[in-house]
Structure 1
Amino acid sequence: MPAAAKRIVVCGGNGFLGSRICKSAISRGWDVTSISRSGEPKWNTVTSSSAPPSWAHKVTWERANILRPATYAPLLKGADYVVHSMGILLEADYKAVVRGQESPISGLQKAFAAAPKRQQQQPANPLDRDRDGDDIRPPETGDQLTYETMNRDSAVVLAAEAARENVAAFTYVSAAAGAPVLPARYITTKREAEGIIAARFPGMRGVFFRTPIMYDSSRPITMPIAAMTGVGALFNSVTGGVLGGFMGAAGVKPLKADVVAEAIVEALDDANVKGPIEVPQIEELADKSWRKNML
């Protein structure tokens, strides 16, 4: 009797990276569920076509709210792997600019406006809420979300729900570094999430992908950004990393989104891979995945 297909749940599976993780998992014959607020992607925002690709029909596209554990917890039952591929780069809806749904000027005004005022008594660890299963603290100001809410709390609470369902491995899409134009909290909340998940759920293999800037021709705005970042990474390499701390993510080699997605699926499939995964290891894992597929 053939072994049962591995089951993966990708939170944020309809996004730029998340959709590619789903595609890679489908290519291995896995049972794939995507969780997001809107369900199936608007394909022209993540690929070069408005029509769904053939593999998309094999994904179960579910709607749930990452800030409300009760809406997604039942979907984790029986999962082997869970991925958190959600977060915010700026405390504003910068994705609307990237997708062409909002003007760059309007988006930049929002992005660099004063950050939302955070509640004074919020716990540093979202697991210290009054009751398990409670909603994560809602956004404090209008439609804006904070780094603490999305980059840290949503990941930690998802990991807690995954551990409760005895999921074997949990991947958190973190970040290689911050950047001079971003508040320090962008990267510190990522690192806080990594630390809390590793410490609180030692029985669940935690894999933390410290991804660089990602690009793909289907999202044209990412191409010049990646090109500039590539120049910065080359300069940083030639100078021995002398400006690495200042340049942040701009001093790290950019990667194609498909490379990162392949590496994530390969890491989940390898029980020896755990902990923080930096850019060189991401490339190694992707190469290993592609060699397997060529055999």
Structure 2
Amino acid sequence: MSQAAKKLVVCGGNGFLGSRICKAAVARGFDVTSISRSGTPNWASISSSSTPPPWSNSVSWERADIFSPQTWTPLIKGADYVIHSMGILLEADYKGVLSGKESPISGLRKAFSSSPGYSQNPLERGPSSQSEIHPPNGPRQLTYEMMNRDSAILLAKEAAKEKVGTFCYISASGGAPVLPSRYITTKREAEDTVAREFPEMRPVFIRAPIMYDASRPLTMPLAGMTFVGSLFNGATGGVLNDFLGGAGQKPLKADTVAEAVVEALEDESVKGPVEVPAIEELARKHWRRGML
């Protein structure tokens, strides 16, 4: 009698990394559900083709709002693994800036503010509709605190209620000279809170570096510059670690990170922060198994 397929729910599964996690999980025979605001991916923005790939037919692409738990809590029932693969690099309402509704100076001021952004602690929210989290100025003005931290804590809280065994958070290897420090501090706060508040779940924090793929041309030169930064950082003994942050870490192909994520889910020995060298090793382990 065959074993039932493991159930995986990926919040943010229609994104650059999330979609590749779904693909890697489908290849292993997982029962995969993606949750995102738009549901089905815009394939042209995350792959080299606008046509849905064959494996996507094995994924349940669901629409839901991460800040409204009642829209997605039924979807995580019975899940073995839940992944948070969502976040923002800049807080500015860039669409507002482009449309002229917000001035570029105002947008940049918000993006690089050193003061904590708007936040509602998910651990203090009540049941039903009271557990919703609302952005201060509409859905386009999200803060690091809300997207990088609070949404992850909210998802972990509900996953723990459903007795999910493993919670995986796609974190980051570090900040960068061009990003506000709150980008990475909110990531670390999410990790600390999830590990502390929900000890019944195995926490896996994938500290991903800059990721690239030929299907997204903009990522290629960025990865090239980051690779040079990682070589310089290694040659100098990491003396600029604090300054370079993620820009001083070796970039990885998005598929490599995705394969490592799924490998980490199945490897019960993986727990806590997973740094870049461990991500590479997990991906190699996955590759070696496929060669046998």
Fold similarity call, TM over 0.5? yes
1:121 to partner: Cα distance: 11
What letter corresponds to residue 293 of structure 1 in structure 2?
G
Segments of structure 1 that go 5 or more residues without pairing to the other structure are: 97-101
How has the CA–CA distance of structure 1 residues 290 and 66 changed in structure 2, closer, same or farther, with 3 Å as cutoff?
same
TM-score, normalised by the number of residues in structure 2: 0.92
1:248 to partner: Cα distance: 1.1
1:80 to partner: Cα distance: 0.4
Q: 1:44 and 2:40 equivalent?
A: no
**1:4-36 deviation line (CA, Å, top 9, x unaligned):** 010100000000000000000000011000000
Q: 1:85 and 2:85 equivalent?
A: yes
Pick the aligned partner of 2:242 from 227, 242, 245: 245
TM-score, normalised by the number of residues in structure 1: 0.91
1:244 to partner: Cα distance: 1.2
Q: 1:265 and 2:256 equivalent?
A: no
How has the CA–CA distance of structure 1 residues 133 and 6 changed in structure 2, closer, same or farther, with 3 Å as cutoff?
farther
What secondary structure sits across from 2:130 in the alignment? coil
Q: 1:138 and 2:134 equivalent?
A: yes
Pick the aligned partner of 1:114 from 101, 104, 110: 110
Segments of structure 2 that go 5 or more residues without pairing to the other structure are: none
How has the CA–CA distance of structure 1 residues 121 and 83 changed in structure 2, closer, same or farther, with 3 Å as cutoff?
closer
1:129 to partner: Cα distance: 2.4
**1:46-97 deviation line (CA, Å, top 9, x unaligned):** 100000001000100000000111100000011100000000011036699x
How many equivalent pairs are there? 289
What secondary structure sits across from 2:62 in the alignment? strand
What secondary structure sits across from 1:167 in the alignment? coil
Structural mapping, 1:33-72, within 5 Å = 33-72=33-72
How has the CA–CA distance of structure 1 residues 210 and 132 changed in structure 2, closer, same or farther, with 3 Å as cutoff?
farther
**1:218-264 deviation line (CA, Å, top 9, x unaligned):** 00000000000000000000110111111111101111000000000
Equivalent residue number for residue 288 of structure 2:
291
Residues of 1 paired with 2:117 and 2:212: CA distance? 38
Identity of aligned residues (%): 63
What secondary structure sits across from 1:207 in the alignment? strand
1:123 to partner: Cα distance: 6.6
Structural mapping, 1:96-175, within 5 Å = 112-115=108-111, 125-131=121-127, 134-142=130-138, 143-175=140-172
Residues of 2 paired with 1:260 and 1:95: CA distance? 29
Contact kept? 2:111, 2:180, Cα under 8 Å: no
Residues of 2 paired with 1:48 and 1:91: CA distance? 28
